[in-house]
């Protein structure tokens, strides 16, 4: 059906007048050169009827997607659900055809809509949609179905397609709904630009779209053809620029749209692109920047907030960007139109005055405000501003705007003095508005300045630099010039106010004109202007080269409000002019398309709006001319002006009179009817130049005012060829018609536009709320009508709206081709195929061009319907076969499944029967076993009771027999003990004797070794002699061979010389030679035999020597083994002897304690079973093969009574040490190391340091390790307890143990001596944590000095001092009071060294636990939390340096709590101060490194507010350190210097004024250049908007980094965390520990030790009891 617009679709009749076409008769019945069918005849009015489809073709299939017109949403998505005929009211069948439509979601809408089951007829869409932004989809309150009759279908239905196009001309269905749908879909995808032919439609997104206007986008569109890339405003600018270059003519870009549609921003982007494309390559010209900076300057003085837009242009602007011969920008010229002067004195709420008034009050400095009399005043203090409550804007900052305005004035070349004068004039306008008037007490018709306005008058005169009295006189009176002279007429209060407002408007208007003129002088094409001035009018021969430019027109859009005045009349008049130009251009492009495709077309006459332009601007009877007549006659009122309009324009169709008003009139514009109020037309059309105002302002000391008003006065007085006669001057003012001036300006503008090639950009405002992502359909349609976009669509629909490329047409509709046309689908025969398809569809009036197929309106829908039917038939055929195949497969699967079910069912029943049989058998077996178990249980209980009775009886009897036997054997045991002691003593003597034999064997061994060495040397000598003889023999044989050869040669020579001699002499000589040769051979054989005999002799002697050496080695090994056995036996004997000696001291206890052990020991001695050397754990000598001959002492035998007692004591102590609550058992109230004292005194008591082999130290250390590992992760107090006690015990050992200096009996160096020597040599190595001896807290300074002097004494290789000799050079240390120094044995030294490593481990565990507790909070402490206003975040508040209240987060508080916890653990356990200071130094170093690195790696942390937040947290840490300085010392505070200086750099003020030396030497001396550069480049101020350091400092930093990099210096800006343990000898030796070794009573001991009598010695004083 026909898809044309009609009058019912839109409310404006003129927009939908029928298309006029020239008469042309064609009778072509098939497609070809002419129309594809019979053309209708013209009707009586000469207008062709609209093309419609036949009734039989007017139908929709069920399921066809359509658009349905809706009263609220314009168009709603739906689909045809039913097509029928009949009476809709009665249901009886009639010839009426109707369509039932079901509303559906738009395919790309993406939202689920709720639907209700009710229907509606007629226009459709009776419900109100709720959806956001008026989307095309059905809203939640919309009915589900609607019925539309055939008569309404042409208006209320439109075919719907799913695709979107970048150029809407390419749409398959080009109608109102399709255009709206295409724009909405693209807007939802942030594609705000769309083409309609050569017209660009720009929908304002009201948000910033990333990368849409950046440098890369400009580079992308540079050189691209329009349509090659996606639609963009850059593409339009590029097309204009390229067309100017190629054709040489000027271009114009017309940007239009309603207020808030984005015209100003679009014009800015066009100018930016042109400046980018045509800029000078060397960058020397600053014209581009000046042209761009004119935008913020003119916006400040000419833009204001309106109801619809926060930055609405209240003037029109046409910017000509001029180009030179090299196609580069050479300058620009700006022309403005109709500044809204009335806004200066009158502002309606919620609008604002011009931006510059608010900028000067918000952004001017105190000095500037004082100069302009604005100090202490706000917006509410000025009458011209306080008429509206709207002061500040959300998206526009007046402070920033003031800075941009000042910068723009500086860039365009306005000097500083001129800028001060301009803002002084602006301030003067504000002060003028505050001048109020009151009736004069002398004359009621006169007025005077009110007393409360005297200050404002003085301020206005001061800033305008005029005389105050003259200004006051000009405001309250007016001079009337007559033939008799001048008369001074006083003005009433109302006239004075009107006079004041006139002065303000004139002052601001002329200031704006001066700014525009000043800008044109600064950015104009000076070179061409100079050439034009030189040429002048004297050029007669040849044409002067035409200046090329690209004009950008940014003018107000069509306006229609509830109340429309003179400003809206002028604005709409300008839009009518531009719309006429637009229609002509669009119609011309449509005709060019037809000519390009070479199709037969007739001239299409578009609807012209010349009639409304005639109503407005014709010279006789036009609105402007009638208005000028009324203005000349001063007595004319608004009612008289309105009646004049009604009488003069009563017959005009575009002019009408409202029914309820006598002064309003209505004009029928192209965008709709607008009613104007003529009440203020006369007043606003007058542009008076009052002579008093001009005279006062022309005498101003301000250069700008004097220049402006002197020139204007000359222009006014010199208007016309002759000055007006004196009688004509009724008053001292000159009237100028604003409307007439604006008409001339428009005519000049249109003349200039007609001389250029136009390009159109239509800006659209998607919603009235100016919010993003909201699309109001009805509002968009209205703007498309006002912008002429739908007019362009209508012109397209008047011809051939549906057009497709031939390839796409054949691809889509090729299936409709008949059989005879299918063969023409070959290249070159497409026309035959196209004609076949179109004839099958029974279409008429179609055209086939060169590359496209052109269809009349509605014909594309017919083809789509036929295509859908054919596809439907094909789908049914396919479905038939597919369904049959699916049914067959389903039957086969069902049959197979039934057979499978039967098979498994039978198997299931069989398995069930078998399972029952098995269960019966299993139950029987279970019963049998249960009965058997019951019987077994009864028997076992009976047996157990009998055994218990027997056990008790036998035990009683055994105990009785044991007591009797014990009494009998007591005497025998004592006798046996005496006897065993005697045997042991005898055995010791034998062992000692055997040991002396061992010494002799060792001497024999050394003698045998010497003999072996001698034999080996002798064998080696023999071998050498043999080699020498062999060499000698070989030399002799070689010499003999040479002699024989020489003799042979001589013989041959003799034979040659004496050949002639007789043969007899030759025979004799030969015989002699043979004998000599034989003799030589025999001698060689004898020598060879002699050599062989010599070799055999040497081999035999060598074998005998080897055998002798083996025998000596075997004897030596046997001697060593025997010696080892003797040593073991000797050790056992000495142990037994000591045991017996101790037992004899306490015979009763020892004998009773020995028990069976004594007999076992004796058996071992009697049987001679030795102990293995490895079991004694005696270290071997570090020397060569000679074994140490000293006899080492040994721990008593484990079976002796004393050893058992000691072991029990050891085990008791080890059990306490290994107890899981050991740290609580040995804890003391004052935190003293009681455990260390107990262990130390026990070791002294048990003489453990004198033993050379013992496992006691290993057990104690193992107990320490187990307790530490058990509490390592979850109990820092326990770890601190073990650290304190281990350190104290280590301290005591360092002051008690000394190296052993004993020698063995024979004067040699023993094994322990060499071990001590090794330990001493290790002590000379670089100091570790605990390998040196500490000092005791109780020692005096002299003692410490002596100790240090002794400690520095060197140690020789044998572990003795420099004095040499036995025991003369021992190391001197200061002993503990009451404790003698003990000669150190190897186990003691090893225990001391292991204890040091244990301390290191405990220290490391505490450090790592603390780091792990602090680490999770450091990342959050580096960034301030984002909190809402008024919200309370958990944490502690503190005061920063400025006194501002800063709220710390819970993470800082968690760190402080963790530090308090670990410090409490240290103080409770009395950890030494040296360890405490080192510990917290490393912890704060860890905090410094992590926070500093996180700050440098995260830019969001390098902000001003974040710096304040971190500084507050660091202040808390410093307070914590100051509070606990007595415990942790001053060292930890220094570790925070990096983060402190970095934060100080963030929060310091006036960073741009800091030099590099101030930063590096005074502010941040610790930070490196890389770190400072990193902080300065990442800094951003989120609080005050300040800048980082200046660019010169950054450049110096960068150069310094480059120098360091070239010198291969370290250039990383991150810190490293040192996890090593930094201790030295002096810290342990000089640590002042006050350790009390005495316990006052048993109450001071742990309960477990106080109850044990074996540890009673701990309660005695060490000095009294001795240890």
Known active-site residue 309: yes
Alpha-carbon Rg for the chain, nearest whole angstrom, is 59
CB atoms within 10 A of CB 144: 19
Cα 342 from Cα 353, distance rounded (Å): 10
- What token pair was written down for 1197? 């035998």
Question: Is 1368 known to be catalytic?
Answer: no
Cα torsion 623, 624, 629, 632: sign = positive
The SS3 of residue 12 is coil
Q: What value, to the nearest 5°, has the Cα angle with vertex 88 and ends 87 and 94?
A: 15
> Which DSSP string corresponds to 1138-1192?
HHHHHHHHSHHHHHHHHTHHHHHHHHHHHHTPPPPTGGGTPPPPSSSSPPP-PPP
Decide: residue 440, CB within 10 A, 0-12 exposed, 13-18 middle, 19+ buried: middle
Residue 557 a catalytic site member: yes
Q: Which of 1548, 1537, 1538, 1553 is nearest to 1581 (CA)?
A: 1548
Residue among 172, 259, 277, 1296 flagged as catalytic = 259
Question: Residue 1191 burial (CB < 10 Å; 0-12/13-18/19+)?
Answer: middle
Residues making up the chain, counted from first to last: 1667
Cα-based torsion angle of the residue sequence 1058, 1059, 1065, 1068 in order, rounded to the nearest 10 degrees = 110
612 neighbors 576 (Cβ within 8 angstroms): yes
DSSP 52: -
Q: What are phi and psi of 656, to 5 degrees?
A: -150, 165
User: What is the rounded (10 degree) CA torsion for 1634, 1637, 1642, 1647?
Assistant: 80
Here the tokens at position 1193 are 């002492």
Which phi and psi (to 5°) does residue 832 adopt? -65, -40
Number of H helices, E strands in the chain: 51, 33
Adjacent-strand bridge partners of 194: 201
User: Nearest to residue 104, comparing CAs of 71, 156, 143, 148?
Assistant: 143
Which residues are paired to 704 by β-bridges? none
- Furthest-apart CA atoms within the chain: distance in Å: 193
CA distances from 408 to 296, 425, 522, 964, 1520 (A): 7, 18, 12, 125, 54
265, 288, 299, 559: the catalytic one is 559
- Catalytic one among 64, 137, 196, 264? 264
Residue with tokens 């405490």: 1476
Q: Distance between CA atoms of 149 and 167, rounded to whole angstroms?
A: 33
Sequence-separated contacts (24+) of 618-627 with Cβ below 8 Å: 621/648, 621/649, 623/569, 623/649, 624/737, 624/739, 624/740, 624/743, 627/681, 627/682, 627/685, 627/737, 627/739
* Structure letter (DSSP) for residue 737: B
Catalytic residue among 309, 405, 502, 702: 309
Q: Which helix (H) or strand (E) holds 855?
A: strand 852-855
d(CA 330, CA 523): 8
Among 178, 260, 433, 1359, the active-site one is 260
Q: What is the rounded distance in angstroms from the CA atom of residue 30 to the CA atom of residue 854? A: 14
Q: Which of 14, 72, 313, 1503 is catalytic?
A: 313
Closest Cα partner for 1348 from 1099, 1603, 1628, 1127?
1628
Handedness of CA 773, 776, 781, 784 (dihedral sign): negative
From the candidates 312, 434, 1503, 1588, give the one annotated as an active-site residue. 312
User: Which listed residue (31, 125, 129, 557) is catalytic?
Assistant: 557
Phi/psi for 1439 (5° steps) reads: -115, 130
Is residue 331 annotated as part of the catalytic site, yes or no?
A: no
Catalytic residues: 259-260, 264, 309, 312-313, 557, 559
């Amino acid at each position: 059906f026909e898809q044309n617009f009609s009058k019912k679709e839109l409310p404006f009749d003129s927009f939908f007048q029928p298309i006029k076409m020239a008469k042309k008769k064609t009778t072509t019945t098939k497609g070809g050169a002419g129309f594809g069918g019979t053309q209708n005849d013209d009707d009586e009015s000469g207008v062709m009827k609209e093309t419609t489809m036949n009734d039989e073709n007017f139908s929709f299939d069920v399921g066809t997607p359509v658009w349905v017109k809706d009263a609220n949403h314009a168009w709603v998505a739906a689909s045809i659900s039913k097509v029928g005929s009949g009476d809709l009211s009665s249901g009886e069948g009639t010839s009426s055809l109707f369509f039932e439509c079901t509303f559906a979601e738009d395919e790309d809408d993406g939202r689920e809509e709720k639907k209700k089951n009710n229907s509606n007829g007629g226009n459709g869409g009776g419900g109100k949609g709720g959806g956001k932004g008026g989307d095309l989809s059905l809203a939640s309150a919309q009915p589900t179905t609607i019925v539309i009759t055939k008569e309404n279908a042409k208006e209320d239905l439109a075919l719907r397609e799913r695709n979107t196009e970048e150029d809407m001309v390419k749409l398959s269905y080009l109608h109102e709904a399709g255009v709206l749908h295409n724009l909405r879909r693209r807007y939802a995808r942030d594609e705000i630009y769309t083409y309609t032919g050569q017209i660009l439609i720009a929908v304002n997104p009201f948000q910033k779209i990333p990368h849409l206007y950046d440098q890369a986008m400009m580079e992308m569109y540079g050189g691209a053809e329009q349509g090659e890339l996606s639609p963009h405003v850059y593409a339009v600018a590029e097309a204009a620029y390229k067309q100017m270059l190629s054709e040489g003519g000027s271009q114009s870009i017309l940007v239009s749209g309603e207020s808030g549609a984005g015209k100003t921003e679009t014009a800015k982007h066009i100018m930016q692109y042109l400046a980018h494309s045509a800029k000078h390559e060397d960058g020397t010209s600053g014209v581009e920047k000046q042209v761009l900076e004119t935008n913020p300057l003119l916006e400040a003085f000419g833009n204001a907030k309106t109801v619809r837009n926060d930055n609405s242009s209240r003037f029109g602007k046409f910017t000509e960007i001029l180009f030179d011969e090299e196609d580069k920008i050479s300058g620009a010229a700006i022309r403005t139109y109709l500044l809204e002067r009335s806004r200066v004195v009158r502002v309606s709420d919620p609008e604002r005055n011009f931006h510059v008034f608010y900028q000067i009050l918000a952004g001017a400095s105190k000095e500037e405000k004082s100069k302009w009399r604005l100090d202490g005043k706000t917006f509410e203090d000025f009458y011209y501003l306080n008429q509206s409550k709207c002061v500040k804007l959300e998206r526009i900052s007046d402070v920033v705007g003031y800075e941009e305005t000042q910068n723009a004035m500086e860039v365009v070349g306005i000097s500083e003095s001129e800028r001060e004068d301009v803002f002084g004039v602006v301030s003067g306008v504000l002060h003028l508005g505050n001048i109020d008037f009151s009736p004069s007490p002398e004359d009621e018709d006169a007025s005077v300045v009110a007393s409360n306005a005297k200050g404002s008058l003085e301020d206005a005169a001061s800033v305008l630099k005029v005389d105050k009295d003259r200004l006051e006189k000009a405001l309250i009176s007016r001079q009337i010039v007559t033939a008799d002279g001048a008369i001074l007429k006083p003005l009433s209060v109302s006239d004075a106010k009107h006079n004041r407002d006139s002065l303000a408007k004139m002052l601001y208007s002329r200031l704006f004109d001066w700014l525009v003129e000043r800008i044109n002088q600064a950015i104009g094409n000076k070179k061409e202007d100079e050439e034009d001035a030189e040429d002048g009018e004297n050029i007669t021969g040849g044409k002067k080269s035409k200046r090329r430019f690209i004009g950008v027109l940014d003018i107000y859009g069509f306006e229609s409000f509830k109340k429309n005045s003179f400003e809206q009349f002028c604005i709409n008049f300008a839009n009518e002019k531009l719309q006429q130009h637009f229609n002509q251009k669009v119609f011309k492009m449509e005709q060019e398309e037809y000519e390009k495709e070479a199709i037969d077309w007739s001239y299409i006459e578009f609807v012209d709006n010349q009639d409304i332009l005639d109503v407005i601007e014709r010279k006789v009877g036009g609105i402007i001319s009638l208005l000028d007549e009324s203005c000349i006659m001063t007595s004319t009122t608004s009612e008289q002006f309105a009646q004049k309009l009604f009488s003069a324009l009563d017959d005009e169709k575009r002019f009408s009179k409202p029914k309820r008003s006598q002064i309003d009139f209505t004009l029928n514009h192209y965008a709709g009817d607008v009613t104007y109020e003529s009440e203020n037309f006369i007043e606003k059309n007058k542009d008076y130049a009052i002579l008093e105002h001009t005279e006062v302002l022309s005498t101003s000391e301000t250069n700008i005012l004097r220049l402006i008003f002197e020139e204007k006065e000359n222009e006014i007085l010199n208007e016309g060829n002759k000055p007006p006669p004196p009688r004509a001057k009724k008053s001292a003012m000159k009237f100028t018609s604003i409307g007439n001036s604006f008409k001339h300006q428009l005519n000049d503008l249109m003349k200039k536009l007609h001389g250029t090639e136009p390009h159109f950009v239509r800006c659209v405002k998607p919603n009235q709320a100016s919010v993003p992502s909201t699309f109001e359909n009805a509002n968009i349609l209205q703007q498309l009508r006002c912008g002429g976009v739908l007019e362009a669509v209508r012109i397209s629909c008047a011809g051939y709206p549906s057009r497709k490329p031939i390839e796409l047409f054949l691809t889509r509709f090729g299936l409709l081709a008949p059989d005879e046309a299918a063969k023409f689908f070959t290249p070159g025969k497409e026309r035959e195929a196209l004609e076949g398809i179109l004839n099958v569809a029974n279409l008429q009036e179609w055209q086939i061009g060169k590359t496209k197929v052109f269809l009349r309106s509605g014909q594309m829908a017919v083809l789509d319907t036929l295509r859908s039917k054919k596809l439907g038939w094909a789908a049914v055929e396919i479905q038939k076969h597919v369904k049959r195949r699916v049914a067959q497969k389903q039957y086969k699967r069902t049959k197979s499944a039934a057979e499978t079910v039967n098979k498994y069912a039978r198997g299931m029943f069989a398995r069930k029967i078998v399972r029952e049989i098995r269960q019966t058998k299993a139950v029987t077996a279970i019963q049998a076993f249960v009965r058997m178990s019951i019987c077994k249980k009864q028997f076992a209980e009976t047996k157990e009771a009998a055994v218990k009775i027997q056990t008790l009886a036998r035990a009683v009897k055994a105990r009785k027999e044991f007591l009797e036997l014990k009494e009998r054997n007591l005497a025998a045991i004592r006798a046996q003990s005496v006897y065993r002691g005697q045997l042991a003593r005898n055995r010791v003597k034998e062992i000692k004797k055997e040991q002396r034999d061992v010494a002799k064997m060792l001497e024999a061994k050394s003698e045998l070794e010497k003999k072996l060495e001698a034999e080996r040397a002798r064998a080696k000598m023999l071998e050498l002699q043999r080699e020498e003889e062999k060499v000698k023999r070989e030399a002799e044989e070689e010499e003999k061979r040479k002699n024989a050869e020489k003799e042979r040669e001589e013989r041959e020579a003799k034979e040659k010389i004496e050949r002639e001699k007789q043969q007899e002499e030759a025979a004799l000589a030969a015989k002699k030679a043979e004998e000599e040769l034989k003799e030589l051979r025999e001698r060689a054989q004898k020598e060879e035999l002699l050599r062989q005999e010599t070799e055999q002799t040497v081999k035999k002697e060598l074998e005998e020597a080897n055998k002798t050496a083996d025998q000596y080695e075997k004897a030596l090994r046997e001697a060593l083994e025997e010696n080892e056995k003797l040593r073991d036996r000797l050790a056992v004997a000495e142990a037994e002897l000591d045991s017996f000696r101790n037992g004899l001291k306490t015979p009763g206890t020892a004998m009773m304690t020995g028990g069976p052990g004594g007999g076992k020991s004796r058996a071992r001695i009697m049987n001679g079973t030795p102990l293995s050397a490895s079991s004694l754990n005696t270290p071997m000598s570090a020397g060569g093969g000679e074994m140490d001959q000293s006899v080492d002492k040994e721990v008593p035998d484990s079976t002796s009574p004393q050893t058992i007692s000691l072991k029990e004591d050891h085990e008791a102590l080890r059990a306490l040490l290994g107890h899981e609550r050991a740290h609580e058992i040995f804890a003391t109230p004052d935190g003293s190391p009681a455990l260390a004292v107990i262990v130390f005194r026990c070791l002294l008591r048990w003489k453990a340091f004198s033993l050379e082999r013992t496992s006691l130290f290993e057990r104690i250390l193992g107990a320490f390790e187990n307790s530490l590992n058990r509490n390592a992760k979850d109990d820092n107090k326990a770890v601190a307890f073990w650290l304190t006690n281990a350190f104290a015990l280590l301290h005591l050992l360092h002051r008690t143990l000394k190296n052993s200096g004993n020698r063995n009996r024979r004067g040699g160096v023993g094994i322990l001596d060499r071990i001590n020597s090794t330990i001493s040599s290790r002590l000379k190595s670089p100091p570790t944590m605990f390998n040196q001896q500490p000092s005791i807290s109780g020692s005096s300074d002299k003692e410490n000095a002596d100790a240090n002097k002794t400690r520095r004494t060197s140690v020789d290789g044998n572990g003795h001092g420099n004095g040499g000799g036995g025991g003369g050079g021992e190391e001197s240390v200061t002993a503990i009071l009451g404790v003698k120094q003990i000669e150190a044995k190897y186990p003691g030294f090893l225990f001391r060294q292991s204890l040091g490593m244990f301390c290191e481990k405990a220290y490391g565990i505490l450090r790592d636990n603390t780091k792990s507790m602090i680490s999770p909070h450091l990342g959050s402490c580096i960034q301030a939390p984002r909190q809402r206003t008024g919200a309370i975040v958990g944490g502690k508040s503190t005061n920063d340096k400025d006194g501002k209240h800063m709220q710390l987060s819970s993470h800082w508080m968690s760190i402080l709590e963790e530090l308090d916890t670990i410090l409490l653990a240290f103080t409770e356990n009395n950890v030494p101060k040296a360890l405490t200071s080192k510990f917290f130094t490393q912890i704060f170093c860890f905090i410094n490194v992590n926070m500093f690195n996180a700050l440098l790696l995260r830019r969001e942390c390098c902000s001003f507010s974040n710096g304040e937040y971190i500084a507050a947290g660091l202040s808390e840490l410093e307070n914590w350190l100051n509070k606990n300085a007595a415990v942790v010392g001053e060292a930890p505070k220094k570790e925070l210097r990096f983060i402190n200086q970095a934060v100080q750099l963030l929060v310091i003020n006036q960073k741009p004024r800091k030099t590099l030396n101030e930063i590096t030497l005074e502010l941040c001396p610790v930070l490196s250049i890389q770190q400072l550069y990193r902080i300065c480049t990442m800094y951003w101020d989120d609080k005050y908007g300040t800048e980082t350091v200046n660019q010169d400092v950054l450049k110096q930093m960068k150069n310094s980094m480059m120098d360091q990099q070239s010198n291969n210096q370290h250039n990383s800006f991150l810190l490293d965390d040192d996890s090593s343990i930094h201790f030295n000898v002096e810290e342990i030796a000089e640590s002042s520990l006050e350790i009390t070794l005495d316990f006052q009573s048993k109450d001071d001991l742990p309960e477990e030790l106080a109850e044990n009598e074996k540890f009673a010695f701990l309660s005695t004083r060490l000095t009294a009891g001795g240890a």
